[in-house]
C-alpha cells in the first residue's frame, strides 16, 4: 500500500468511527430523559439505557485516535516528524478504552477500585489527547501541502487545551455542559485532521 493510499484509507476509517461516536453520544442526550444534559457528564450515560452503545462508541473513538496518530507518523515525512504525538494519541486511546471497559464491570465487581480506575483513565485520555493535538499540529506546520490545515489545527488545539484546563480549574459552570463542550472541540479537531488527511491523500494521487 503506497503512502497516499494508506493515509486515505486510515483517515476514512477514523472519520467513520468519529462520526459514529458523535451520533451515539448525541442520541443518548435525547434518549436519556432521566439525566439532565447540562449537569450530567457524559460518563454518567455509560450506565443504564443505551450504556452499552455509548461504551462501544467510546471504544470506536479510542480506535480513531490511535489510528490517526499512527497514520500521521507512518505516512507523513516532514522535518518535524516524531513518534511523540503518536505515542500520546495511543495513551489517550488506551485511557478511553479503560473508561469504557472499566465502567462495564468494575462498578459491580470492584466498586472501591472503579472510581480510581475511571478517574485515572479519563485524565489520561484528556491530557494525552490535548498535548498530542498541539504536537501534531506543530509537526504539520512543516509538512509539505499541510500549511493551511495545520494553521487551523494549531489554533483549534490551543482552544481545546484552554477549554480543558478551564473545565478542570473553574468549578462554577455546569460540569456536564463544560465537559461535553471540551469533548466536542476535541472530536471536531480529530475530524478535521482526518478530513485533511483524506483530502491530502486524494490530491497526492
- In this predicted model, what pLDDT tens digit does every residue of 110-119 receive, in sequence order? 787 878 888 9
The average pLDDT across 177-188 equals: 97
Query: What would the grid cell of residue 16 be?
Result: 467513520
The average pLDDT across 76-92 equals: 89
Three-state secondary structure call for residue 45: helix
Spatial separation of the C-alpha atoms in residues 144 and 203, rounded to whole Å? 12
Sign of the CA dihedral 94, 117, 35, 179?
A: negative
The average pLDDT across 183-203 equals: 94
When mean pLDDT is compared across 2-6, 30-34, 128-132, 183-187, the lowest value belongs to 2-6
Q: What percent of the chain has pLDDT over 90?
A: 75
- Pick the more confident residue, 127 or 101: 127
Query: What would the grid cell of residue 68 be?
Result: 490517526
Return left, alpha or beta for 50; rule: phi > 0 is left, psi -120 to 50 is alpha, else beta: left
Enumerate residues 6+ apart whose C-beta is below 8 A from 91: 124, 128
pLDDT band at 2 (very low <50, low <70, confident <90, very high): confident
Query: What would the grid cell of residue 116 be?
Result: 480510581
pLDDT score at 13: 95
Residue 205 confidence (pLDDT) above 70: no
Q: Nearest-CA neighbor of 14 among 184, 205, 191?
A: 191
Residue 109 confidence (pLDDT) above 90: no
Residue 1 confidence (pLDDT) above 60: no
Residue span of the structural domain in which 75 resides: 3-204
147-169 and 175-204 are packed helices; what angle lies between their axes, rounded to 10 degrees?
Answer: 170
Spatial separation of the C-alpha atoms in residues 162 and 181, rounded to whole Å? 12
Mean pLDDT of the chain: 92
Domain count, the chain: 1
Amino acid at each position: 500500500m503506497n503512502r497516499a493510499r494508506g493515509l486515505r484509507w486510515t483517515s476514512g476509517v477514523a472519520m467513520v468511527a468519529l462520526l459514529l461516536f458523535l451520533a451515539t453520544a448525541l442520541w443518548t442526550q435525547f434518549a436519556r430523559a432521566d439525566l439532565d444534559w447540562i449537569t450530567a457528564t457524559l460518563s454518567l450515560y455509560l450506565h443504564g439505557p443505551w450504556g452499552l452503545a455509548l461504551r462501544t462508541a467510546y471504544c470506536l473513538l479510542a480506535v480513531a485516535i490511535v489510528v490517526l496518530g499512527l497514520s500521521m507518523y507512518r505516512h507523513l515525512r516532514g522535518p518535524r516528524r516524531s513518534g511523540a504525538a503518536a505515542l500520546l494519541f495511543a495513551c489517550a486511546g488506551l485511557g478511553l478504552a479503560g473508561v469504557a471497559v472499566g465502567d462495564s464491570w468494575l462498578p459491580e465487581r470492584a466498586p472501591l477500585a472503579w472510581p480510581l480506575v475511571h478517574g485515572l483513565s479519563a485524565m489520561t485520555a484528556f491530557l494525552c489527547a490535548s498535548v498530542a493535538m498541539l504536537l501534531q499540529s506543530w509537526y504539520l506546520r512543516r509538512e509539505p501541502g499541510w500549511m493551511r490545515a495545520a494553521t487551523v489545527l494549531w489554533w483549534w488545539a490551543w482552544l481545546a487545551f484552554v477549554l480543558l484546563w478551564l473545565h478542570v480549574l473553574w468549578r462554577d459552570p455546569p460540569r456536564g455542559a463544560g465537559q461535553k463542550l471540551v469533548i466536542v472541540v476535541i472530536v471536531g479537531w480529530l475530524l478535521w485532521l482526518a478530513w485533511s488527511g483524506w483530502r491530502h491523500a486524494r490530491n497526492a494521487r
